[in-house]
Amino acid sequence: MELSVLLAVALCFLASLMVFARSYIRRARAQSTIHHIGDPAVAHQALIQNADDFANQPASIFPASLAVWRNGERNYNITTADHGPHWRALRCNLTAHILHPSRVASLAPLLHEAAQDLVANLSARASAGAGGEVAVRVPTNTALFGLVTLLCFGDMVDGQHRRAMGRVVRDYMYFVGELSPRFDGSMLSKLVNWRAFLRISALFDRQAELYRPLFAARRQSRSKVRGGMVHPYVDSLLDLRVADGDVRRALRESEMVGLVFEFLGAGTGTIAACVEWTLAHLIDQPEIQARLRREIDDETTHGAMLSSKSLRGMPYLNAVVMESLRMHPPVCFILDKATWTDPDEFRPERFLAGGEGEDVGPLPVPKEIRMMPFGAGHRHCPGVGMGMMLIKCFLATLVGEFEWAPAAQDCSGGVDVTELNGFLKLMKKPLSARVTPRT
């Protein structure tokens, strides 16, 4: 008798839970709707022609729904803030102090230093490894994260602290990638994804622990980034004042934590992914690698610093990067295959003069959208100029310094370019290659 009563109670509870879940989902869907657009013309109309109407991120998209601290305070960064005065203040501050074209050009010495650090790391790994084989992803991320950390905090971050921050960024991207594709920030989806959600929430606290002493140190010392080019990004955040009703206030520490985390993550993952994808295709198609190397040799002296001017003088390098971004846009839900001839073939020539993508750039032109690896409209990535320069600088350095060939396990079947759709679109099997230093 007692067992039958317990079963009846349990069934009633489950039925009530299902009714509540269905009601909760209906209310959530009524509050916000995500539109999946597959037609380039419709996407252009929504993101370019009607940019003001679609300028806010959906409340249910995962970066926004996770950007809430344990005390319930909303963590608005450039990605999650609604379009308006606060968002404009954050974005303009980043653009003016770090990402303005005049400042990006002056950062060439730091980019060169980071690229040479990567060359030294790969050379050491090739000498120690069997047959000169190296894994590409980890050393590329390490070099890029060191550069982005320097731009963010200046010279005050030691190696141990930098590695700890890098682990937080890496773990965040991994755990967000584990979330269900239907995660919408609701209580039900948090229950379904409880393990990943708890880990992501814990990383928010870890960020504050890591960044708080660096904020305090920057308040005491305002030295410029190495070489005297620019002040670190954190200095601009300390000085920034945003509107709050009728007054202007300083950013709260929690807001600064979110903005710094956004800067470190966005400045590393997408660039490293593009470098890895591009090298994979250059290994698979050695004739493209050889043509690119000839252009690099013609435009630069071996080991010399690559300036923004010299990079602009390499149209084939730009075509190679654009083709890589076309095939493997960093954000997984941006697709563009329907607008291209033979979309699954890696063919950089399509972006040269006379090709079908001759007038296509990293941001959509006003008349059409054929690809948008850095987004489109008001919410396009403000770091597109910096990102393109970093990708080109690293690729030109790596192709100029090394001959790239398949790893032993890939010699017969080619490089495995299976995609892994997580937070970013990565190679499912991290790239390994045989590198031979050029004399």
Whether residue 131 sits in one domain with residue 92: no
Whether residue 221 sits in one domain with residue 91: yes
Whether residue 197 sits in one domain with residue 316: no
- The residues of the chain scoring below 70 in pLDDT are 1-38, 53-54, 57-75, 179-190, 227-229, 303, 332-335, 366
Is 39 domain-assigned? no
Whether residue 245 sits in one domain with residue 114: no
Residues whose CB falls within 8 Å of the CB of residue 178, separated by 6 or more in sequence, listed in order: 193, 195, 196, 422
Is 354 domain-assigned? yes
CA angle 280, 282, 288 (to 5 degrees): 160
Provide the domain count of the chain. Answer: 2
Is 165 domain-assigned? yes
Is 46 domain-assigned? no
Is 36 domain-assigned? no
Whether residue 368 sits in one domain with residue 312: yes
pTM, full prediction: 0.85
Domain that includes residue 200, residue range:
59-99+154-267
Task: Indicate the DSSP class of residue 403.
Answer: E
- In tens, the pLDDT along 352-388 reads 999 999 999 888 876 778 888 888 877 788 889 899 9
- In tens, the pLDDT along 401-417 reads 999 999 987 777 789 88
Closest CA to 196 of 212, 211, 181, 207: 181
Whether residue 353 sits in one domain with residue 229: no
Whether residue 182 sits in one domain with residue 128: no
Per-residue confidence (pLDDT) for residue 49, from 0 to 100: 72
Is 131 domain-assigned? yes
Residue ending a domain, among 246, 267, 288, is 267
Whether residue 237 sits in one domain with residue 91: yes
Q: How far is CA 91 from CA 24, 264, 388, in A?
A: 34, 15, 19
Whether residue 434 sits in one domain with residue 340: yes
CATH code for the domain of 347: 1.10.630.10
Whether residue 293 sits in one domain with residue 365: yes
Residue ending a domain, among 218, 242, 267, is 267
Q: Give strand pairing partners of 432.
A: 135
Is 16 domain-assigned? no
Per-residue confidence (pLDDT) for residue 275, from 0 to 100: 96
- Give the pair of three-digit tokens for residue 282: 């250059």
| 411-438 burial code (b ≥16 CB/10 A, e <16) | eeeebebeeeebbbbbbeeebbbbbeee
Whether residue 282 sits in one domain with residue 229: no
Max intra-chain CA distance, the chain: 88
Whether residue 434 sits in one domain with residue 348: yes
Residue 119 CA to residue 115 CA, distance in Å, equals: 6
Per-residue confidence (pLDDT) for residue 25, from 0 to 100: 45
Residue ending a domain, among 267, 294, 311, is 267
